[in-house]
Amino acid sequence: MIYRRPHFTEYIMARLVTLAVFTGFVFSILFFIFLPEGNTAYYAIIILILGFIVFIYAIYRGAVHMQDELYIINSYLENIDKAEKIDYQAHFFTQEFEDINQNLIKVLKSAKKREDVKQRYNAKLKLKNRQRADMISAIAHEFRNPIASIMGYAQTLEEDRDIPSSLQEKFLHKIYNNGIKIEELLSRLVLWNKFESGEATLHPSKFDLHTLAQEVKNTLQDKYPQREIVVEGDSCVVDADRTLLEIVLKNVIENALKYSKDEVMVKIDAGEVSVTDYGSGISSSDISKVTKKFYRSGTHTWDNSMGLGLSIVKKILELHGTSLEIESEEEKGSTFSFHIK
């Protein structure tokens, strides 16, 4: 036979019945020994029985109250991870149970808060792990091509000593350009790491924005000799970080060169800078995503230098208290603009 632990009410009632039977037995013996004369004895017995019934009922009701209170407390413990299950309006019959209730509510609130913190931490950890995986994948993708190119040209030069000098010079030039590309990728990683760690700071100075745009144009013109970059506008002196704004202009203009075939137009007007290309454009669903780190579009070859180019531009402009605006139409082109005071 399996033993069943009694409920609180059953336990109390069992003890009351035992007490009642024992007390009734004792009083019966006393009544028979000291039985009063006349009907008084019968009235006394009836009153005694009624008193016992009232006494037992009162104790029973108290036990039911206590069982209800214990049920509420037990429900808290069963749903300790569900704050919505807490009955904040519950009131208890005894002060002891009320104190237990309030203490349990505090414990459950604290447990719920810790669980929320744990879930947020786990979510952030998952996001960071995913971003780290994306970053490793992006770095591997971006470095693989220039490294493979360098190794290929170097191996050809090493194995074939009879290569014409003109071809050797061409191969060495290719190796050098790929080395420059790797250096640029590393520089972007270092800069992005500074932004992520909060170490990036401004070093403002006064300079001519139009002159800076011309310098960037000349640098990129050497890299893209077959393309035309037009810089329009008048002299415009601004107070900003020249080095960081050079990175902004270089990234935005080079993106325009990569994803268009016609000329790239750079306009400067009273601190308002716009770069327009007439290329493939960006879909409306991608416009809000191209400035996110490690983002790559599946419809166009927006490699965006590990997905960091425009993301770095966004961070630099935010550091200057401004933002990058993008207007684009597919198959017609895009305009990237920002304002510097």
Asked if residue 252 is part of any domain, the answer here is yes
Structural domain for 160, as ranges: 123-197
Let me know whether 91 and 38 are in one domain: yes
The predicted structure's pLDDT at residue 16? 67
The predicted structure's pLDDT at residue 299? 45
Q: Which residue has the higher pLDDT, 37 or 311?
A: 311
Q: Which residue has the higher pLDDT, 188 or 31?
A: 188
pLDDT digits (tens, 9 = 90+) for 256-285: 888 887 889 999 998 899 999 988 888 887
Let me know whether 86 and 191 are in one domain: no
Backbone angles phi, psi at 94, to 5 degrees: -110, 150
Asked if residue 81 is part of any domain, the answer here is yes
Judged against a pLDDT cut of 70, whether residue 3 lies above it is answered with: no
Asked if residue 3 is part of any domain, the answer here is no
Backbone angles phi, psi at 79, to 5 degrees: -115, 45
Last-in-domain residue among 167, 197, 227: 197
The predicted structure's pLDDT at residue 136? 74
pLDDT digits (tens, 9 = 90+) for 17-42: 666 666 666 666 666 665 555 556 56
Judged against a pLDDT cut of 90, whether residue 58 lies above it is answered with: no
Under the banding of pLDDT at 50, 70 and 90, the label for residue 80 is: low
CB 318 within 8 A of CB 325: no
Let me know whether 231 and 334 are in one domain: yes
Last-in-domain residue among 104, 131, 160: 104
CB 216 within 8 A of CB 253: yes
Under the banding of pLDDT at 50, 70 and 90, the label for residue 306 is: very low
Most confident stretch, 75-89, 121-135, 232-246:
232-246
Q: Which residue has the higher pLDDT, 64 or 51?
A: 64
Judged against a pLDDT cut of 60, whether residue 81 lies above it is answered with: no
Let me know whether 214 and 331 are in one domain: yes
Judged against a pLDDT cut of 90, whether residue 59 lies above it is answered with: no
- Concatenating the DSSP letter of every residue in 19-60 gives HHHHHHHHHHHHHHHTPPSTTHHHHHHHHHHHHHHHHHHHHH
Asked if residue 114 is part of any domain, the answer here is no
Q: Which stretch of 88-102, 183-197, 231-245 has the lowest confidence by average pLDDT?
A: 88-102
Q: How many folded domains does the chain comprise?
A: 3
Let me know whether 328 and 238 are in one domain: yes
Average pLDDT over residues 145-164: 86
Q: Which stretch of 180-194, 248-262, 263-277 has the lowest confidence by average pLDDT?
A: 180-194
Count Cβ atoms within 10 A of the Cβ of residue 197 and give its class: 0-12 exposed, 13-18 middle, 19 or more buried.
exposed
